[in-house]
Structure 1
Amino acid sequence: MRLDLITIVVDDYDSAIGFFTAVLGFDLVEDSPATTNDGRPKRWVVVRPPGAQTGILLAQADGPRQAAIVGDQVAGRVGFFLRVEDFDAAYERMIAAGVEFVRPPRAEPYGRVAVFLDIAGNRWDLLG
């Protein structure tokens, strides 16, 4: 058994793809046309960190209810955790790319950690 995908609701597919691939270095695994349950067009967009098994389904908000949770999918908590081999290099690369860090790096028993926001405004821990 394994967790295959999680969903992050975003404002725009292409901006989210750009953030996750160009800024975070994820792989674009799939970007295929799809349809909603009522037949409207949408896309099936999956990104995944290199070498990871679990991917992220980027879902463009469809309607006011979904639009309302963009950037707040876990009610202001850190909901996503990205572990990297070289914390300092990843942190500096992300700063240079304009990623907003809301908490600076600190040492914890489980390693170094800094909290950043993704393109939608969701909180992530960068872990090293």
Structure 2
Amino acid sequence: MRTQKRCLGYVAIVVDDYDRAIEYYTDKLGFTLVEDTPQPGKRWVVVTPHPESDCNLLLAQASGERQQGFIGDQCGGRVFLFLQTDDFWRDYTAMKEKGVHFCQQPREEEYGWVVVFEDLYGNRWDLYQNALP
């Protein structure tokens, strides 16, 4: 009997410009560009935090005024995405040095280290590392 694996493959994030978004996510956050394929009237652009990750970001350039209104506010001001790391201080320091905007100071919680940052568009993210058991 075959076991079926289910996971999120892509999370779409609305951006204003493909190239600007690619530059930010790869240069500032250290993501890898997985695919950039032209399609009629758009591009299929995928970035990932790690090449072996099962979940990737699909950078979707806004098409029209309605979609443009969601750039930077895809979750109504709440933390939208959660970037898990195996070395919190390494990634926090590297991102800070590259100009990523952090909304607060890092803090230790019962589950590990966490800090909120905003991406290029103002979407809020958690950078976090789980505490070791």
Q: TM-score interval w.r.t. the shorter chain?
A: over 0.9
Q: Which has the higher contact order (CA 8 A, sep 6+)?
A: 1
CA distance in 2, matches of 1:2, 1:82: 16
| Structure 2 equivalent of residue 101 of structure 1 | 102
72-81 or 42-51: which moved more?
Answer: 42-51
Measured after TM superposition, the shift of residue 116 of structure 1 is 0.3
Equivalenced residues, count:
123
* Larger-gyration structure (1/2): 2
Q: Deviations over 1:33-91 (max 9, x none)?
A: 012xxxxx111000111121111100011111111110000000001000111111111
| Structure 1 equivalent of residue 64 of structure 2 | 63
TM-score (norm 1): 0.93
CA distance in 2, matches of 1:86, 1:2: 24
The amino acid across from 2:66 in the alignment is: R
Moved beyond 3 Å, runs of 4+: none
CA distance in 1, matches of 2:36, 2:7: 22
1:45 is aligned to 2:45: yes
| Structure 2 equivalent of residue 38 of structure 1 | none
TM-score (norm 2): 0.89
The amino acid across from 2:34 in the alignment is: V
1:7 to 12, 24, 38: 12
2:29 to 18, 24, 28: 24
